[in-house]
């Protein structure tokens, strides 16, 4: 199959594919993602619904429906579709990671932790799930668990600044100021804006 030169050509190819086979869930999905890239959310939504109608186990389509909900400010709708994604396909890590993130936003820390742990079990390289889980542990006051998760995420993605920022917070809480300073500085060097309050707390401990 020829490769599209640009988004418009890619969309035209997906439309042509659907003209020949309107029951192809993957083509509906691919077209929807391309339309989302152009911010044509209503048409994209329609094709995503077609995609899951044709291919009920297309978990990615439910996640994209969730993304459209979030774009509209509908966090509940987003949570609903991500829950459908893990029903559509067992062990679908992105769905669990998104549910964990949304539950954390809702203040449901235990529910967030449970889903984020599952995301990591199903995809041990899901860096975003690690960092969100570390944030959940910090909110629950579980500093050692947060540190362990951050160190694992750094093994996977050594230049992910949020992991270093979370480490700085956890080490500060534990009174390990040198380690906290080291990680706060590393987060900053990677372009992360470390909270002013955290930097102020560390200032007296700098040599």
pLDDT in tens, 127-138: 999 999 999 999
1-70 is a CATH 1.25.40.10 domain = yes
Q: List the domain boundaries for the chain.
A: 1-70, 124-207
Q: For residue range 80-129, what is the model confidence (pLDDT) as tens digits?
A: 999 999 999 999 999 999 999 999 999 999 999 999 999 999 999 999 99
Question: What confidence score (pLDDT) does residue 64 get?
Answer: 98
User: In this structure, is the dihedral angle defined by the CA atoms of residues 51, 53, 55 and 60, taken in order, positive or negative?
Assistant: positive
Q: How far is CA 197 from CA 123, 169, 206, in A?
A: 34, 11, 15
Q: Which 3-state string (H, E, C) describes 113-167?
A: HHHHHHHHHHCCCCHHHHHHHHHHHHHHCCHHHHHHHHHHHHHHCCCCHHHHHHH
pLDDT tens digits, one per residue of 24-79 = 999 999 999 999 999 999 999 999 999 999 999 999 999 999 999 999 999 999 99
pLDDT given at position 207: 78
Q: Is the pLDDT of residue 3 over 90?
A: no
- pLDDT tens column, 161-181: 999 999 999 999 999 999 999
Considering only the top CATH level, what class is 124-207?
Answer: mainly alpha
Domain 1-70 shares a fold with domain 124-207 = yes
């Amino acid at each position: 199959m020829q490769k599209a030169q640009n988004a418009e050509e890619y969309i035209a190819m997906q439309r042509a594919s659907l003209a020949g086979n309107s029951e192809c869930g993957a083509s509906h999905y691919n077209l929807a993602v391309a339309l989302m890239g152009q911010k044509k959310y209503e048409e994209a939504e329609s094709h995503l619904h077609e995609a899951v109608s044709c291919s009920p186990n297309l978990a990615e389509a439910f996640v994209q429906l969730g993304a459209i909900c979030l774009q509209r400010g509908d966090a509940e709708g987003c949570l609903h579709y991500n829950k459908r994604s893990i029903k559509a396909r067992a062990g679908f890590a992105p769905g669990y990671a998104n549910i964990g993130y949304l539950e954390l936003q809702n203040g449901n820390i235990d529910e967030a932790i449970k889903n984020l742990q599952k995301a990591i079990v199903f995809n041990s390289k899901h860096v975003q799930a690690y960092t969100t889980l570390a944030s959940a542990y910090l909110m629950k006051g579980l500093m050692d668990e947060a540190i362990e998760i951050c160190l694992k995420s750094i093994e996977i993605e050594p230049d992910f600044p949020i992991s270093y920022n979370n480490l700085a917070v956890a080490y500060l809480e534990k009174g390990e100021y040198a380690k906290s300073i080291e990680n706060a500085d590393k987060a900053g060097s990677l372009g992360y804006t470390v909270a002013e309050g955290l930097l102020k707390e560390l200032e007296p401990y700098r040599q």
